[in-house]
Chains A and B, each alone.
Chain A
Amino acid sequence: NAGVTQTPKFRVLKTGQSMTLLCAQDMNHEYMYWYRQDPGMGLRLIHYSVGEGTTAKGEVPDGYNVSRLKKQNFLLGLESAAPSQTSVYFCASSRHVGGETQYFGPGTRLLVL
């Protein structure tokens, strides 16, 4: 049972390049989330999904797109990277039951030059 995994662990992009971050979970969780973590700002929700084929915007969705084609995977895309997207990105998943916690991946560190 690997829990939540993220690919890649670290990436350097040039401004304007695109990339996709992959999150996978093997706990059969219904909900999945993408956060970014920046110094002094804690975790901010980018997008989330409450089930396969559904996505919703979080607090800071601009510049990102997501897809949840399979229940176990949640993809985060950057179509045209900007230096402001330099951050650490965390994926998380949880059951839909109230009171249940989130389980986090190890994070992806992204540097946009």
Chain B
Amino acid sequence: GDSVTQMEGPVTLSEEAFLTINCTYTATGYPSLFWYVQYPGEGLQLLLKATKADDKGSNKGFEATYRKETTSFHLEKGSVQVSDSAVYFCALRPNTGNQFYFGTGTSLTVIP
């Protein structure tokens, strides 16, 4: 069935470091792919998305490219800030069906 596997955390980085959080997926066809962010005590918010192969989603300095050949959607940011400390979830929505499938989340802490 459809599923998402993402890099386990927690991840701790110094401010201005480069961030990569790996995400791979299993799905038939061409699902839509998402990254969500959850700040402490809050619900999930959409960070970025891509709906077809080779699309690049970007927002707030974060980027992820939909790679069909490697079934991946890795999240990257060139220079993280303390305010980026949060839990990041990779998710997919199949092109048919009603459900979303989430990874287990990766906790990121950025230290000054």
Contacts and interface: CB of A to CB of B under 8 A. Distances in A.
Given A101-B46, A105-B43, A48 B98 contact: yes
Interface residues on A, range: 20 to 34
Contacts of B46: 101-103
Which one of A50, A58, A98, A107 has the highest number of Cβ atoms from chain B below 10 Å of its Cβ? A98
Interface stretch (B18-26, B69-77, B102-110): B102-110
Interface residues on B, range: 20 to 34
Contacts of A98: 32, 51, 93, 95-96
Nearest to B104: A42
A99 B104 contact: no
A101 B98 contact: no
B39 to A, nearest CB: 11
Contacts of B93: 98-100
Contacts of A101: 34, 46, 49
B43 A106 contact: yes
Nearest to A43: B102
Interface string A21-55: 00000000001010000001111010010100000
Interface in B79-112: 89, 93, 95-96, 98-100, 102-105
Contacts of A45: 99-100
Interface of B: 32, 34, 36, 42-46, 49, 51, 89, 93, 95-96, 98-100, 102-105
Given A48-B99, A50-B98, A104-B43, 14 more contacts: A40-B104, A42-B103, A43-B102, A56-B98, A58-B99, A90-B44, A96-B98, A98-B95, A99-B49, A99-B93, A101-B49, A104-B36, A104-B45, A106-B42
